[in-house]
Amino acid sequence: MCGRFVSSTPVEQIAKEFHVDEVRAAPAPPDFNVAPRATINVVLDEAHDAAVDRVLEGLRWGLVPSWAKDLKVGDRMINARAETVATKSAFRRAFKHRRCIIPADAFYEWKVVAGQKRKQPMAIKRRDGELLAFAGLWERWRDPEEPDAEWIRSATIITGKPNEVIAPIHDRMPVILPESKWDEWLDPTFDDVEALEALLVSAPSELFEVYPVSTRVNNARDHSELLLERVETTEEQSLL
Per-residue burial over 186-224, b if 16 or more Cβ lie within 10 Å, else e, is beeeeeeeeebeebbebbeeebbbbbbbbeebeeeeebe
Active site residue 100: no
C-beta separation of 125 from 105 below 8 A? yes
Which entry of 57, 100, 109, 139 is annotated as an active-site residue?
109
Catalytic annotation, pick one of 2, 57, 100, 139: 2
Angle at 236 between CA 233 and CA 237, to 5 degrees: 150
Q: Is 109 considered catalytic here?
A: yes
Distance, CA of 102 to CA of 58 (rounded, Å): 10
Q: Any idea which residues carry the catalytic annotation? A: 2, 109
